[in-house]
Amino acid sequence: MNENVVLCASSAYDEKYYLNEDFQRLPESIKEELQIMCVLYTADVGGILTLEYDEEGNLNLITTADEGDLLYDEIGSVLKIKQLQETKKELLESLELYYKVIFQNQDIGKLL
């Protein structure tokens, strides 16, 4: 049974950022960009942002919030996710390709 693989996550609740140790080989600039993106998102909207790969290797931006969190901006969350998907499109697509080639051993020639 396959499970989703978390790339990174940020939480407004405990003000922490997490990068999966399996991705330590990513270039520092990419790791920094991910951290800035995630932390700014949770600082702006609240809740928790998780970037995770599904079984097919697609990178999904998933947001959650505590049930009683009245400060969480649900509408702003949807808009911010769409904005990130547009402004960080190249980064997100590159991270998907990286995962499919390095972790799923897919042929890069067939992916391009």
pLDDT tens track for 42-80: 999 999 999 999 999 999 999 999 988 888 888 899 999
pLDDT grade for 111, boundaries at 50, 70 and 90 = confident
Q: Mind listing the pLDDT tens digit for each residue in 21-32?
A: 999 999 999 999
- φ, ψ of residue 33 in degrees (nearest 5): -65, -40
Question: What average pLDDT does the chain have?
Answer: 94
- pTM of the predicted structure, to 2 decimals: 0.92
Which residues make beta-bridge pairs with 50? 9, 62
Question: What was the pLDDT predicted at 82?
Answer: 96
Q: Residues 14-46, buried b or exposed e (16+ Cβ, 10 A)?
A: eeeeebeeebeebeeeeeeebeebbbebbeebb
| Dihedral sign for Cα atoms in the order 32, 11, 1, 96 | negative
Q: H helices within the chain, ranges in order?
A: 28-45, 74-87, 89-102, 108-111
Task: Provide the pLDDT confidence category of residue 2 given band limits of 50, 70 and 90.
Answer: low
Residue 104 has pLDDT above 70, yes or no: yes
Q: What is the CA radius of gyration of the chain?
A: 14
Distances (CA, A) of 39 to 13, 33, 59: 11, 10, 18
Report residue 112's pLDDT band, with 50, 70 and 90 as the boundaries. confident
